[in-house]
Amino acid sequence: MAEGLLAGFGLGSEAMGPQPERTGWAAEEEPAPLQKALFQDGDSCSDSSGDGRPGSRLPSFVLQGKTSFPELFQTGHLLFYERFAAYQDYILADCKASEVREFTAEFLEKVLEPCGWRAVWHTNVFEVLVEVTDVDFGALKAVVRLVEPCLCESPLSTFTPECVRELLDLKAWRLPLQELWVAFDSSGALDQTALAVEHVRFFYEHIWRSWDEEEEDEYDYFVRCVEPRLRLHYDILEDRVPSGLVADYRGLLAQCEEIYGDFLSLRSSLSACDSDSEQGNLSMVEGLKLYSEMEQLKQKLKLIENPLLRYVFGYQKNSNIQAKGARPHGQKVTHVVASTLTAGLLGSLLRDRLCREPQEEEAEIQFHRDLLSAVGACYEGDTVIVCPGHYVVHGPFALADSIELEGFGLPDDIVIEQRGKGDTFVDCTGADVRIANIKFVQHDAVEGILIIHRGRTAVENCVLQCETTGVTVRTSAEFLMKTSDLYGAKGAGVEIYPGSTCTLSDSGIHHCKEGILIKDFLDEHYDLPKISMVNNIIHNNEGYGVVLVKPTIFSDLQESAPGGAGENKALEPQTSGEGDAAGRADLEELMECAAGRAGPGARPGPSEPVEGNLEILSELVAASTRKGRMERKRLSKLGITQADDSLMSQDMFVRIVGNQFKWNGKGSFGTFLF
């Protein structure tokens, strides 16, 4: 039986005969042998003495310290697909959350040696060498005894072998498997045991949440919880998640664990007291409050764990870049950046850019070879002129003051390329920033190519070659893109946050996951965005040309509220005659207003593709109308009965005309419900 299991997991003896080369715990259709390729190179281990030995196919390492512990199996650096296959094919399969322990115990019974192996009991305070004499599979614990002579290491001088024995007595000499690190055995007999313990340890440290059993007990626990959390863990390890988002996730996780602990304590106290008493009623109210807070935190965690939604909704990153302001005497400086400055180039600069007017002859000019040093030397009102060349930058590119960054030539001749891993490429926080005639090339980033946190940023005649998302326009920021080209984003080409202003004209957005993504603004805490799109070409995007994010929960709440069905229909703008006359009149008036702002010269001719423009315009104006009605309803509940309709109708300045939508995978416009 044992030999059969060893063979099934690829850890059997040579008597099994030669096997085809495979990696991982399982192939797509049948269990596969475990080859050396299952692990990373032995060089990544602190001690790779296990490599190359006959028998064991796992590397080993030695604990650093004064105590001479035996070598231990190195199993902590398995690849994503190896853990994925182990949990999906061998351990969890299609179990419910409530069945995780049962399925894990069944797996361990098949592969874990029941006794006769040594391990280091590892905690945050000490390490102790023990020997396993039995395994309680149902409790996921090992029955142990101390190895003589006792090997123990701790930074606390007061921690002695007697303390270890007292602690083991309190634990009835039973230790959680995830706290054991299996001692290395070169014969290979304990390879499966080491891997099994590693999978249990990793699962309960990084995947399992204490509230999982109280979630909907469906059969898709692996799909709902294990896979997204596992992917997020490896995305973080491989620097594919912004550091700010990682901090947010860990903070939310700690906060949710704390609230869940308080909730359990309160629930226990409720079961011990009279629910009809005043104290019981107060505890019930407090419990409902804690439950509501916990559900909100869990929802935020799920958004971050989902590889799509974490970029759809993003996070509010606070930029700490400080602006210098103007120089003491108000003078302005022109900074010239050139990798090589020839006499001909200098003459062209003086003639065409630096001395076009007589008064400019007295202007101060500073020359730089490094682009970041030039930007770092800028004050309010300065200009940076970038000469033709290929400039490589490492790290963030921050524009905190109102400056102009202008290429001297065509965009393809002035290339700024980011290399090295980093969160952002270009961060804009200046009140009035202008960027022109430059090509930006992004590599190995985890955030967008350009993020406007606040202020106004104008991009003219530029090329943006993206790596992750494209341009992000944060709340209260303003972005203008004119005669530019944006492509290659794995997310949206342009992300528009609530309360922002975005103007796109005569530009191209193509070969992105989505063309333009307008984030949810229906929440009462958000302001409407102001959007203008004129004569753009949005094509060859994988999804939609334009996507509007809308909450499904909002509609559910509307329908469940008193009189919700009727009110929800009233809020829902209709164009087919089903809505009331007032709703149609408001919508038509806003449509005419939005289209009329473009002026006669901007209206598309009969041969132009107007269908996408009208569809987007109709949906955005309808959402704006709905937002206005929600706001009026909220104000009326506060006792403010007269809302300024004309003001609300102007909140969302929509101008969408003359755009062309071609060859987008899902069409010109769509909605993303969450």
**What is the tens place of the pLDDT at every residue in 205-252?**
999 999 988 877 677 889 989 999 999 999 888 777 777 788 888 999
Backbone angles phi, psi at 142, to 5 degrees: -115, 140
pLDDT of residue 24 exceeding 70, the answer is: no
pLDDT reading at 8 higher than 50: no
* pLDDT of amino acid 570: 31
Which of 105, 109, 80 minimizes the C-alpha distance to 95?
A: 105
Per-residue H/E/C for 145-210: EECCCCCEECCCCCCCHHHHHHHHHHCCCEEEHHHEEEECCCCCCCHHHHHHHHHHHHHHHHHCCC
Count of Cβ atoms closer than 10 Å to residue 86 Cβ: 23
Distances (CA, A) of 329 to 69, 402, 645: 69, 17, 48
- Separation CA 538–CA 663 (nearest Å): 9
Segment of 176-185, 218-227, 466-475 carrying the highest mean pLDDT: 176-185
Both tokens of residue 339?
């990798």
Mean pLDDT of 630-644: 55
Positive or negative, the CA dihedral 154, 160, 164, 166 is: negative
**Residue 559's pLDDT band (cuts 50, 70, 90):** very low
Question: Looking at the predicted structure, is the pLDDT value of residue 586 above 60?
Answer: no
43-100: per-residue pLDDT in tens?
333 344 444 445 788 999 998 888 889 999 999 889 999 999 999 999 998 899 989 9
Q: Judge whether 142 and 152 are in contact, CB under 8 Å.
A: no
Average predicted confidence (pLDDT) for the chain: 78
The answer to pTM > 0.85 is no
**Residue 414 to residue 439: CA distance in whole angstroms:** 6
Q: Tell me the average pLDDT across 268-290.
A: 75
**Per-residue confidence band for 114, with pLDDT thresholds at 50, 70 and 90:** very high
Contact (CB, 8 A) for 323 and 401: yes
Q: Euclidean distance between the first and final Cα of the chain, in Å?
A: 49
pLDDT at 653: 56
| Strand, helix or coil for residue 426 | strand
Instruction: Return d(Cα 433, Cα 394) in angstroms, integer.
Output: 21
Please state, for a pLDDT cut of 70, what percent of the chain lies above it.
73
β-pair type (432-436, 404-407): parallel
Is residue 38 exposed (0-12), middle (13-18) or buried (19+ Cβ within 10 Å)? Answer: buried
Judge contact between 457 and 484, C-beta under 8 A. Answer: no
DSSP string, 479-519: EEEES-EEE--SSEEEEE-TT-EEEEES-EEESSSEEEEE-
Which has more confidence, 175 or 271?
A: 175
Give residue 592's pLDDT.
56
Which of 45, 62, 46, 63 has its CA nearest to residue 154? 63
pLDDT of residue 661: 93
Is the pLDDT at 28 greater than 60? The verdict is no
DSSP helix/strand/coil, 534? strand
* Alpha-carbon span 181 to 183, nearest angstrom: 7
Q: What is the pLDDT of residues 344-385, one digit of tens each?
A: 888 889 888 888 777 667 788 999 999 999 999 999 999 999
Closest of 573, 574, 571, 617 to residue 595, by C-alpha: 617
Tokens of 510: 């193509």
pLDDT at 584: 52
Q: At 616, is the pLDDT very low, low, confident or very high (cuts 50, 70, 90)?
A: confident
Strand 456-460 with 478-482, pairing: parallel
Provide the token pair at 67: 């105590």
Q: Which two tokens stand for residue 306?
A: 């989902």
- pLDDT band with cut points at 50, 70 and 90 for residue 422: low
Average the pLDDT over 626-651 and give the result: 53
Q: What is the pLDDT of residue 478?
A: 96
**pLDDT (0 to 100) of residue 636:** 60
Radius of gyration of the chain (CA): 32
Planar angle of CA 450, 456, 457, nearest 5 degrees: 40
In contact, 241 and 235? CB cutoff 8 Å? yes
Convert the pLDDT of each residue in 318-340 to its tens digit: 556 688 899 988 889 999 999 88
The reported pLDDT for the residue numbered 87 is 94
pLDDT of residue 491: 84
Distance separating alpha carbons of residues 547 and 560, to the nearest angstrom: 27
- The pLDDT, as a whole number, for residue 602 is 42
- Predicted pLDDT at 42: 38
Segment 172-196 mean pLDDT: 94
Distance separating alpha carbons of residues 485 and 491, to the nearest angstrom: 16
pLDDT in tens, 507-546: 999 999 999 998 876 555 567 788 999 999 999 999 999 9
User: Regarding predicted confidence, which is higher, 254 or 421?
Assistant: 254
Q: Which residue has the higher pLDDT, 157 or 658?
A: 658
What's the one-letter identity of residue 459? V
Residues in CB range of 634: below 8 A, 6 or more apart: 524
What's the pLDDT at 673? 73
Q: How many CB atoms lie within 10 A of CB 502?
A: 23
Alpha-carbon span 243 to 619, nearest angstrom: 35
